[in-house]
């Protein structure tokens, strides 16, 4: 599985819309029961860790069938990226923006792929 941002863009400004494409490999496609896409930010470092989801969508595999080919689809964040918090890589705290693709398999397993991007003014 992998994720690609539209035109390879990795830096975004507040107010922009995040968009891209995700790919699910042919070898796991027949097992996919559903997938979730989320745009979120999280903090890490000293103190409590926080997470905030900006947008979340869940898709079943029924619309694409249980084909054995690879699965490619577009993703567009309907909400514009907010003014804050901006990406930050400090000594005590980090604020990271990312898109998360979580694929649920029939075997009750799941695979998660996260891709970071930067929100900068």
- Report, at the CATH architecture level, how domain 2-119 is classified: Sandwich (2.60)
Q: What is the pLDDT of residues 22-57, one digit of tens each?
A: 888 877 877 888 889 999 999 999 888 999 999 999
Q: What is the pLDDT of residues 87-115, one digit of tens each?
A: 999 999 999 999 999 989 888 899 999 99
Which residue in the block uniquely carries the two structure tokens 């804050």?
84
pTM of the model: 0.85
Write the DSSP string, 83-97: S-PPPEE-SSEEEEE
Q: What are the domain boundaries of the chain?
A: 2-119
């Amino acid at each position: 599985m992998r994720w690609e941002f539209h035109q390879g863009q990795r830096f975004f400004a507040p107010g922009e819309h995040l968009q891209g494409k995700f790919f699910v490999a042919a070898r796991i496609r027949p097992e996919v029961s559903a997938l979730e896409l989320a745009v979120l930010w999280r903090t890490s470092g000293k103190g409590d860790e926080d997470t905030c989801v900006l947008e979340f969508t869940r898709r079943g595999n029924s619309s694409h069938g249980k084909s054995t080919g690879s699965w490619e689809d577009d993703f567009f964040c309907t909400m514009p990226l907010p003014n804050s918090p901006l990406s930050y890589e400090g000594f005590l705290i980090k604020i990271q923006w990312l898109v998360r693709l979580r694929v649920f398999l029939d075997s009750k397993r799941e695979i998660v792929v996260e891709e970071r991007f930067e929100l900068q003014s």
